[in-house]
Amino acid sequence: MANIPSKLYQFLKKNLKSRSLNFVQTLYKGRLPSLKVNLKNELHSDEFQNLGLNKLSTKELENLNHYLTNRPRSFLDAFPFCHGENKLTWTFKTTIVSKETQKPSFLTLSTIFQNEADFLVEWLEYHMLQGTDHFLLYNHFSTDNYLEVLGPYIEKGWVTLIEWPYVDYPKAQLDAYSHALTYLEGKTTWAAFVDIDEFLVPHEKATTVDFLKDYEEFAGIAINWQLFGTSNLEVLPKKAPLIEHLTHKFTSSFHDPEWNSNHYTKCIVKPSLIDKTCYSPHIFKPIEGYKICDPDKNILKETDVSNPRMPLSKIQLNHYWFRTHDWFYKNKVERRRLVGENYSSEKLDLLIKSANEVEDKSILKFLPDLKKALQSVRH
């Protein structure tokens, strides 16, 4: 890094591991890591001066901070985080939390998430009913109680959690998926890359796993999503499953070139047959000799991030993009603004109205079993 004293790098190299190991006993509580996100140990001013950090300009500190926080560390490692012109703190986070078994998985769901603690359990339990036997999750700077929620699933070996402290987005997502493709090779037969607000809904087969058995000759299947609206709900009833109450969506053929579309797909792929560099969260590149298809076995190109054919008779992906009115305006609008998407109030009102035009209750056939699973978890 230009203009960063070599003394700093020597310090980092010498102290990163030893400093973090001093915190192992503090962070471990019982059988599971009781991990504190953003546990900080501030450098003393004399250390700051000895490292030469007091000589760095604000811009140089910003560059250093960006450099350091964009490199994931090993389990229970620490990374320094610069603040302002005269302070550098050490942040201790896990990189990988896992109690995986040696038995290979058949279907792993992988995603990157941020502040989704309220929705994680329903998403996990629903997809376990679909036959998913492993989850590979990348945390992107969450500040909620995600560790508390995921703890029991990590303990049972169902969830592997990877801290992913990359600042740049959407590159952070693409890099996470590239990492997942390599990490999961040999560990799972199939890997589905879907978000926490997306639910796989098979129609002709009993589960997603049963659906996949018809596609053994392919490297992957691209599944169209269906965008769901708020169903005119301000908030969800307490402890109510999201899928039970959000039952209205755009028309199946909805397409708005200036905003979004039901043309978009998400993929379930075989990591062993996929190029390990992810260029889009919507489509993947198979290795030579293999193809990605849609549910009707039409072949898709690696550039086909959308599929206007929208074959939905066998399976669809319910995408609860809006969730409720309250959540949408307090969370989603701001998230999209941070990645450069700004919508007028008129546009938002029109989208919400259009998003509630059609009722689709096809997912509710799984609701009784989901409620039983959720009740068991809560007790």
Both 203 and 110 in one domain: the answer is: yes
The mean pLDDT of the chain is: 81
Domain final residue pick, 91, 125, 141: 91
pLDDT in tens, 60-74: 656 655 555 554 443
Both 239 and 295 in one domain: the answer is: yes
Both 138 and 253 in one domain: the answer is: yes
Is residue 193's pLDDT more than 90?
yes
Whether residue 127 is contained in a domain is answered as yes
Is residue 282's pLDDT more than 50?
yes
What is the spatial distance between Cα 64 and Cα 59, in angstroms, rounded to a whole number?
9
What is the spatial distance between Cα 200 and Cα 202, in angstroms, rounded to a whole number?
7
The residue that leads in pLDDT, 31 or 54, is 54
Is residue 270's pLDDT more than 80?
yes
Whether residue 1 is contained in a domain is answered as no
Whether residue 187 is contained in a domain is answered as yes
What is the spatial distance between Cα 82 and Cα 88, in angstroms, rounded to a whole number?
4
Cβ density class 262-295: b for 16+ within 10 Å, e for less: bbbbbbbbbbebbebebebbbbbbbeeebbbbbb
Both 288 and 357 in one domain: the answer is: yes
Both 120 and 160 in one domain: the answer is: yes
Mean pLDDT of the region 223-237 = 97
Is residue 83's pLDDT more than 50?
no
Output the pLDDT for position 170.
Answer: 84
Both 62 and 104 in one domain: the answer is: no
Whether residue 373 is contained in a domain is answered as yes
Is residue 86's pLDDT more than 60?
no
Mean pLDDT of the region 346-350 = 89
**What is the total residue count of the chain?**
379
Both 28 and 102 in one domain: the answer is: no
Output the pLDDT for position 7.
Answer: 53
Mean pLDDT of the region 32-58 = 47
* Percent helix / strand / coil, the chain, rounded to 5: 35, 25, 40
Both 84 and 66 in one domain: the answer is: yes
Whether residue 352 is contained in a domain is answered as yes
pLDDT in tens, 100-111: 667 899 999 999
367 band by pLDDT with thresholds 50, 70 and 90: very high
Domain count, the chain: 2
Output the pLDDT for position 47.
Answer: 52
Output the pLDDT for position 217.
Answer: 98
Show the domain range for 28. Answer: 6-71+79-91
> Which residue bears the tokens 């006993």?
25
Structure tokens at 152: 């029991």
Domain final residue pick, 59, 91, 123: 91
Whether residue 325 is contained in a domain is answered as yes
| Range from 15-29, 55-69, 113-127, 283-297 carrying the lowest mean pLDDT | 15-29
Reduced to 3 states (helix: H, G, I; strand: E, B; else coil), residue 122 is: helix
Both 52 and 28 in one domain: the answer is: yes
What is the spatial distance between Cα 69 and Cα 27, in angstroms, rounded to a whole number?
21
The residue that leads in pLDDT, 137 or 6, is 137
Distance of CA 144 to CAs 116, 140, 198, 239, Å? 8, 11, 20, 17
Domain final residue pick, 61, 91, 121: 91
Whether residue 321 is contained in a domain is answered as yes
pLDDT in tens, 288-303: 999 999 999 999 999 9
pTM: 0.78
Output the pLDDT for position 165.
Answer: 74
Output the pLDDT for position 214.
Answer: 98
Reduced to 3 states (helix: H, G, I; strand: E, B; else coil), residue 363 is: helix
Is residue 40's pLDDT more than 50?
no
Both 276 and 224 in one domain: the answer is: yes
Is residue 142's pLDDT more than 90?
no
Nearest to 241 by CA among 378, 71, 352: 378
| Range from 161-175, 223-237, 257-271 carrying the lowest mean pLDDT | 161-175
CATH at residue 205: 3.90.550
Both 110 and 59 in one domain: the answer is: no
| Range from 74-78, 119-123, 338-342 carrying the lowest mean pLDDT | 74-78
Is residue 4's pLDDT more than 80?
no
| Range from 100-114, 255-269, 349-363 carrying the lowest mean pLDDT | 100-114
The residue that leads in pLDDT, 173 or 6, is 173
CA-angle at 159, arms to 154 and 162, nearest 5°? 95
Whether residue 339 is contained in a domain is answered as yes
Both 103 and 67 in one domain: the answer is: no
